[in-house]
Every structure is written in C-alpha cells, then in structure tokens.
Amino acid sequence: MSLHSRDPILLTPGPITTSLATKTAMLRDWGSWDASFNAVTARVRAALTAIVNAAETHVCVPLQGSGTFSVEGAVNTLVPRDGHVLVLINGAYGKRLARLTEMMGRKLTCFETADDVPTRAADVAGLLDRDASISHVALVHCETSTGILNPLAEIAAVVAQRGKSLIVDAMSSFGALPIDARVTPFDALIAASGKCVEGPPGMGFVFVRKSVLERCAGQSTSLALDLHDQWVYMEKTTQWRYTPPTHVVVALDTALSQFQEQGGQPARLARYTANYRTLIAGMAELGFRPFLDPRIQAPIIVTFHAPPDPKYGFKEFYERVRDKGFILYPGKLTRVETFRVGCIGAIGPDEMRHAVNAMRDVITEMGIRQVSPRDAAARVAA
C-alpha cells in the first residue's frame, strides 16, 4: 500500500494515517437531523457490529468523543452503583480504567501485573472465586502503553463460567485482531473510530449485550455519557441525542467501506502483521531491541528500548524523524526509557521501511553509537 498524500505518516496508536478517500469524505457538511445523515449513522452501526458478529446479541451505541469517553460511559452505565469491578492492569490504560471506575464511586479491586506480563485467566478465576461480591471484570485487550496482548478468550471464558459481567477495552485491537461475540462472551466491548478501522478520531462506540443494556436505565451518573439513554433515543428517533461529530461519522462510513473492500479483519491483520515484521527486522538491524517478548506482542504498536547513548534524547530524535515525514510516539513506561512505533493506519511495509531508514539517518546525524540497551550489548559480547 502506498500513501497518496504528503501528510506526515503517523506511526502512533491513534490518530492514525487515513486514506485519501477517508480524508475527502470530510469535505462535505451534513445536517445532524437530516435523514441522509441518520442513514449514514445506521449504516456505520451495522457495519461495526458485523465486524465482531454481534448483531444477534448486542447493540452498537456510538458516542461523541475519544475512546476514553466510551470507556467511562460503559462503566458508568453498565455497573450498578453498588457494583464491584475487578480491573485487570498491566499498563497505563488499565490504570486509567481503574481510576475512572473509582471516580464514579463504584467499588474497585485491582489486579496488576508487570508491563511485560499478560494477565492469566487462572489468576482471574482465583480472584473471582475468593470474592463473590465482584460483579464485573474490566480488561484491556491490547494494552497500548506497550503493545502487549492479553488473553481475551480465556479470560472471557472464566468470567462467564462464574456468571460475572465482562467489559472489554478493545480500543487497539478491534478491527485487526479476531473477536467474535458468538464464541467469546462479553457484555460490553469498547473501541473507537481512529484506530484499526482507520477512520479519523472523534467517535467511540460500545457493543453492549441488549439484554443487559435494557436493564441499565438510571444507572449512569452522567447525562452525556449515559449509553442507555443514547441507545433509547437513537432507536426511537434515528438521531443522536446531542450534536454528533458529523464529519467523523461520514469519514468512518467511508473507512468501513474500504475495510470491507480490502478483505475485512483478516486482511487488516495481515497488513499490520507485515508492517510489524518489516519494522522489527529493520530496527533489529539498527540495534534497537523491543521491550516485549514477541510471543505476547500484538502487531499494533511496538515499544522499543531507547538508546543508552548520552547523545540520545527522545525530543530531538522525535523532531528529526518528524522532519523526515514520520511521527513517532513517546514511551509510557516509568522504570525504563522507551519510545513506541505504531504499525496501524493506512500504511504498508513500504512506509515502514522508509520510517526505519529515516531513523537510521537520524542516528547518524545525532552521532549515536550505542543503540542496544547495555544489558543486551553485554550478552552479545559474552
């Protein structure tokens, strides 16, 4: 895939690089109550639901704002005010999920592992067996702070076996990694427009089990983020309750058409995997070492150890790579210095090769001699 624009290539977990067709879709203005726009909204909801085969059991509730708006809306709407949420954490977004749960006054229990350790289904089972008061489990499928992939299917199975409710933050996995509501039980799955479906940012959406959502009237402590109210109003009128991000919705509709034309989720995963492999191979030649073991790494965003060379500084490195047309992402870890490179968006292996070449040139320009972490260099020397 070649990029048909001169915009910088966004090697980030969102916003991402969008296709020219998706950009062009935002050139028209739409009336938010007009029947033609309402038809676009309905089409987008149906297309999104089809990606996870959820039409028989779940409804798609779109929400204005970033993905975090929809995460907060899901927890606030679906968890009763006397509910008890077990949040599984191995990164910054799990911590954010826990923070917003606590801020909304729901009882919170956290189970945290290291940034490079996936949550095990056996641990979740043990926690649920020891505390029967837990009503909901909240999981980040692909933790964007590192790119680690947590075992959704296995965790969903143990949660369902114990009759608990599962809320999944699938922000960085939806549309690329396989998720099937017919075989993986969840009560809510949350994603957003500006990730693997390759739309612009500005709209989140939650797939909620209809039988659950029907019982959620009045549970939300927020007016704007009440998913039950949003769903009821949209079903009754076909309209959004409050001003929708019209340009984002229409661009997402165009992006979803391309998603299907290109082969859907399997094709999207294949392209991102090719991007990931190209990136890993090229960065290894430069001496960069990924933070995660490849067995637990999703082909979405890769965290690399920063060079230990005293001439390296992320700000200068970032700015020099940006000037060559590529936008990187800072690290999210606190115990080691890292930076991140995204593999998603309307890009292919050619763009990844060019990005690696840009980083190679910047290393030379900055006079960086030591790229590999010192412990890695020591092992090679041994």
- Asked whether residue 145 falls in the same domain as residue 277, the answer is no
Residue 374 has pLDDT above 80, yes or no: no
Reduce the DSSP state of residue 172 to 3 states and report it: coil
Q: What is the mean predicted confidence (pLDDT) over 16-23?
A: 97
Q: 377: domain CATH number? A: 3.90.1150.10
- Asked whether residue 246 falls in the same domain as residue 180, the answer is yes
Residue 46 has pLDDT above 80, yes or no: yes
Q: Does a structural domain hold residue 319? A: yes
Q: What is the mean predicted confidence (pLDDT) over 258-273?
A: 98
Cα–Cα–Cα angle for 31, 50, 229, rounded to 5 degrees? 50
pLDDT over 90 for what percent of the chain? 94
State the pLDDT confidence band at 376, using cuts at 50, 70 and 90. low
Residue 84, beta-bridge partner list: 107
Residue that finishes a domain, picked among 261, 293, 328: 261
Residue 169, beta-bridge partner list: 140, 190
Model pLDDT for residues 157-197, shown as the tens digit of each residue: 999 999 999 999 999 999 999 999 999 999 999 999 999 99
Q: 105: domain CATH number? A: 3.40.640.10
State the pLDDT confidence band at 381, using cuts at 50, 70 and 90. very low
Q: What is the mean predicted confidence (pLDDT) over 64-84?
A: 97
- Asked whether residue 95 falls in the same domain as residue 243, the answer is yes
Q: According to the model, what pLDDT value does residue 123 have?
A: 98
Q: What is the mean predicted confidence (pLDDT) over 358-369?
A: 98
Residue 115 has pLDDT above 90, yes or no: yes
Where helices occur in 195-263 by DSSP H, the ranges are: 210-213, 227-237, 246-261
Q: According to the model, what pLDDT value does residue 7 have?
A: 85
Q: Which domain does 145 fall in, by range?
A: 24-261
Closest CA to 144 of 36, 325, 13: 13
Which has more confidence, 311 or 377? 311
Q: Does a structural domain hold residue 76? A: yes
pTM: 0.94
Q: According to the model, what pLDDT value does residue 346 have?
A: 98
Residue 64 has pLDDT above 60, yes or no: yes
- Asked whether residue 332 falls in the same domain as residue 371, the answer is yes
- Asked whether residue 233 falls in the same domain as residue 341, the answer is no
- Asked whether residue 132 falls in the same domain as residue 251, the answer is yes
Model pLDDT for residues 316-358, shown as the tens digit of each residue: 999 999 999 999 999 988 789 999 999 999 999 999 999 999 9
179 Cβ contact list (under 8 Å, min separation 6): 51, 52, 141, 152, 170, 173, 189
pLDDT over 70 for what percent of the chain? 97
Handedness of CA 23, 14, 49, 39 (dihedral sign): negative
